[in-house]
Chains A and B, each alone.
Chain A
Amino acid sequence: MSEIRIRLRGVTFGYEPSAPVIRDVDLDLGGGLALLVGPNGCGKSTLLKLMAGVERPDAGAIEIGGFDLWSDELDSRRLLAYVPEQPDVSPYASVVEVLELVANLRGQTPERISEVQEQLGLRKLGGRSIRELSKGQRRRVLLAAVRLGTPPVLLLDEPLDALDRRLREETLGWLDERRNAGAPIVVVTHELELLSPLADAAIYLVDGRAAMVEELGESTRDRMRILESLARGEPDRVGLEKQDPR
């Protein structure tokens, strides 16, 4: 599993072609948990959407495990699981229907659906339409979908947002387990205190360009100091380069 990597080469993307949000990003991520941090609106979620194959780059290429996301759509997507920031599951589907969709695409059994429903406390919500769920319940559905099968690459956008305390702890435990198994995990989060102990690296974005910090320090204090500076968009405060837009 450890040989599976996420590679971005010269990735550029903008919702308007004239105003790119992500500029010429090169990244090479292996096993371990990388926190994707930066101030609001810097393009963290957009970069994750690009890695997940939700949006297609205007330029450049993204590979998951050696498969290009847009020319080897099936093979690349079999390797990844994504939780979006907005739990934007179709409002016209029920919980079980969404889980069945993912289970069928990932070759999972109906029993596995029941198991993840149980784990995520969705047993009683199975027949409900997604539009009837709260934000936290929608996020549970997406986290349940991620656990169907064991896609080695996890891309999670604010995975702890709107979850209750028990589920947060359970999710952190599961993340740690997957990290120890060597899965490449990228997490966008503002919950640095909770996730910093699990972080092996950090990716920060400034003006649409990304850089990676692989040494976060040993002590909790050091790690938090570095991560907080990156999250504020002030990498220079911890001696890191502030990227200049081209």
Chain B
Amino acid sequence: MSILSILLRFQVRTTVRVTFRNTLAQALLLAVAIGLSPDPGGTLLSLARGLGSGAPPWLAAFGIWAAWNAAVAREPLASTLRGWHRHLPVSGAGERRAAWLALLLSQAPVLCFAILLWIGAGLVDGSWRWQVPVSLVLVGLASATALLPWRSEWPRWIAAASFLAAAFGTLLSLALGALMLWAVDRRGGRLWILPAAIRHVERPARAGGASLTWLIAIRAIGWRIPLSWLIAAVPLTAVWLFLRNNSLDLAQQATGARVGGGLALLAVLVSLGDALKLRRPPWPWIRSLPSTSRGRVVRDAVLLSMAGLPSLAVSGWLAPTAALPLLAGLIFQSVRLSGALRRDAGGTTRLGAHALGELCFVQLAIAASGWTAAVLLLLVPWALRDATRQEQRQKVTRWQELHHLALGDPAS
């Protein structure tokens, strides 16, 4: 087995595989969007014909979609290339090509879907533009090239130019794009995968004080916040279409908005709560500083509530009377979730089943009757006391050492 294939297998197993999870959410969104259109078959066919025509905007759009997946794979991939990995008997070119192909593979689901569309268009219309699959692969390679951690910036610029050339899809532009990528491969040299410390010495300091806990949480969950909004958009879109295509009275519209908004909030809270519990290690030392357990719980609850505001705003736009019950539910659930983040869920680092069950039950209750929210508001002080008790009772150092130290900690 060649060194390239050994490295590639390693990258696929350790990093690229993880990014494939994103594809599931994207596939779900696409299926819902196409399924909700007036003529799903027609929508799919026009999508296939658009891509099959080889028009640059279509190729570029699919290229950007695929590149987004590669961007997600980039950081975990770069982190596997640092440190210990550097002592392995691998040439710089081998290492670079394996990383390059790994980033291409992270785009594979999107590129394969695009190629399937091209085949579909070819079968229906009988015309086969061979430039389309070539262009898609080149666009994917150009994205992967641009996203590699280069020592200097010039390979990125060349790769960006190659992306544009490949998206034009003509014989000449494809040849030019391929030539540029070949040049980068020949002259690019070793990747810049020394510890990030060396590159960021001059990075300016940002906010401090109590807001640091928010910054830490946001950095820990990062792109999962917009992803949770994307997931939340699915039920909201469904409800919007339902309300638009049916003649309903105000009460029915409000119920519909509460159902959709509740599901959207559930998606946001569950995905972010789970990500926070998994990715943000508890910070034992901060407990020795002059801050309160209640303050830490409230800060997490505020963060979760803020993340739910876009869904709440859309629900309010769908039916203004649905906004207040959903807001009350959001406050209550954020506090409860903040407590659940601190509960030992049987040795796992995910949210416990009881927390998920409770969130679902509360949303169901709000959907059934908006007045439930008034009760929930009254229960907020109790929820806060309970969450504070969870914060004080959690055995933070045990939790960290057992489950979290290996997550991105170079000392582990």
Whole-angstrom CA separation of A155 from B202 in the bound complex: 33
A204 at the interface (CB under 8 A from B): no
Cβ of B233 to closest chain A Cβ, rounded Å: 27
**Residue of A88, A105, A133, A135 most packed against chain B (CB within 10 A):** A88
Whole-angstrom CA separation of A111 from B220 in the bound complex: 30
Given A73-B293, A89-B283, residue A131 in contact with residue B408 (CB < 8 A): yes
Q: Determine if A92 and B216 form an interchain contact, defined as CB atoms under 8 angstroms apart.
A: yes
- 0 or 1 for each of B370-403: is its CB under 8 Å from A? (1 = yes): 0000000000000000000000110111101000
Question: Quick one: closest B residue to A135, CB to CB?
Answer: B411
The contact of B210 among A53, A88, A96, A101, by CB within 8 Å, is A101
B200 at the interface (CB under 8 A from A): yes
Given A70-B392, A88-B283, A132-B196, residue A55 in contact with residue B208 (CB < 8 A): no
Instruction: Select the stretch in A22-30, A34-42, A122-130, A171-179 that faces chain B.
Output: A122-130
Q: Determine if A127 and B290 form an interchain contact, defined as CB atoms under 8 angstroms apart.
A: no
Q: Determine if B283 and A105 form an interchain contact, defined as CB atoms under 8 angstroms apart.
A: no
Whole-angstrom CA separation of A96 from B205 in the bound complex: 6
- 0 or 1 for each of A75-104: is its CB under 8 Å from B? (1 = yes): 001101110101011111110111111111
The contact of B291 among A15, A77, A96, by CB within 8 Å, is A77
Residues from chain A with a CB closer than 8 A to the CB of B205 are 94, 96-97, 100, 126-127
Question: Quick one: closest B residue to A101, CB to CB?
Answer: B212
Residues from chain A with a CB closer than 8 A to the CB of B256 are none
Cβ of B11 to closest chain A Cβ, rounded Å: 21
Cβ of A77 to closest chain B Cβ, rounded Å: 4
Whole-angstrom CA separation of A53 from B283 in the bound complex: 12
A206 at the interface (CB under 8 A from B): no
Residues from chain B with a CB closer than 8 A to the CB of A190 are none
Q: Determine if A132 and B195 form an interchain contact, defined as CB atoms under 8 angstroms apart.
A: yes
Cβ of B219 to closest chain A Cβ, rounded Å: 4
B1 at the interface (CB under 8 A from A): no
The contact of A56 among B204, B206, B208, B392, by CB within 8 Å, is B392
Q: Determine if A92 and B395 form an interchain contact, defined as CB atoms under 8 angstroms apart.
A: no
Q: Determine if A127 and B212 form an interchain contact, defined as CB atoms under 8 angstroms apart.
A: no
Whole-angstrom CA separation of A124 from B209 in the bound complex: 21
Whole-angstrom CA separation of A98 from B209 in the bound complex: 8
Cβ of B289 to closest chain A Cβ, rounded Å: 5
Whole-angstrom CA separation of A78 from B195 in the bound complex: 36
Q: Determine if B197 and A128 form an interchain contact, defined as CB atoms under 8 angstroms apart.
A: yes
Q: Determine if A15 and B398 form an interchain contact, defined as CB atoms under 8 angstroms apart.
A: yes
Q: Determine if B210 and A131 form an interchain contact, defined as CB atoms under 8 angstroms apart.
A: no
Given A56-B392, A101-B212, residue A88 in contact with residue B400 (CB < 8 A): yes
8 interchain residue pairs of minimum CB distance: A100-B208, A132-B197, A96-B205, A104-B209, A82-B288, A52-B288, A127-B203, A92-B219
Chain B residues packing against A (C-beta within 8 Å): 195-197, 200-210, 212, 215-216, 219-220, 280-281, 283-293, 392-393, 395-398, 400, 408-411
A sample of 26 inter-chain contacts (CB < 8 A) reads A15-B395, A54-B288, A74-B292, A77-B288, A77-B289, A78-B290, A82-B288, A84-B285, A89-B285, A91-B409, A94-B206, A97-B206, A99-B208, A100-B207, A100-B208, A100-B209, A100-B212, A101-B210, A104-B208, A105-B209, A127-B202, A127-B205, A129-B196, A129-B197, A129-B200, A132-B197
